[in-house]
Amino acid sequence: MTETAFRTVYEQYRDPLFRFGYRLTGSVELAEDLVHDCFIGLFRGGFDERRGPVKTYLYAALRNLSRKHYRDSEREELSNDADLPVASGALDALISRETAAVVQRAVETLPRLQREVLVLFEYEELALDEISKIVDADVGAVKSRLYRAREKLRQCLAPVLKETAR
């Protein structure tokens, strides 16, 4: 891969990969490290275009690096140092941050396989077939994980939604 091509891929996928890494780990620092390691692997020639598009390679590489990190460190606790988006206006900003924090904590409680699929589908807006390649599972398994993740989120967020409806 030429330096120009690498730079183009880096600029195109750096932010989406960071968001994915952050939502998987809950840590800004770890997400940055994973994205960095992901691009080092790409630069060193880890990508084989015969196996699929570079986008799929990058997301799968970040997912695998994340899993390796947790496996190596034997740690599943997720940090909660969120840099959440802020809406305009003081009250809107407060509500937006609180809501985003509640949803982020709920997503972090999901089992890892469900969380990966949910983040890739809902936040990164990837197609089911792309997700199936990234997580190395058939589309049916991806749909099942996504369904279970959404159901668990509904259960987890139901008390909060009832509280805000009052």
Q: For the chain, what are the domain ranges?
A: 1-81, 83-166
Taking only the tens place, the pLDDT of each residue in 83-112 is 444 444 566 666 667 777 788 888 888 999
The CATH number that domain 1-81 falls under is 1.10.1740.10
First-to-final CA distance of the chain: 57
Please check whether the two domains, 1-81 and 83-166, share a CATH topology: no
CATH classification number, 83-166, choose in 3.40.50.720, 1.10.10.10, 3.50.50.60, 1.20.1440.130: 1.10.10.10
Taking only the tens place, the pLDDT of each residue in 36-88 is 999 998 888 877 777 788 899 899 999 999 888 878 775 444 333 344 444 44
What's the pTM? 0.64
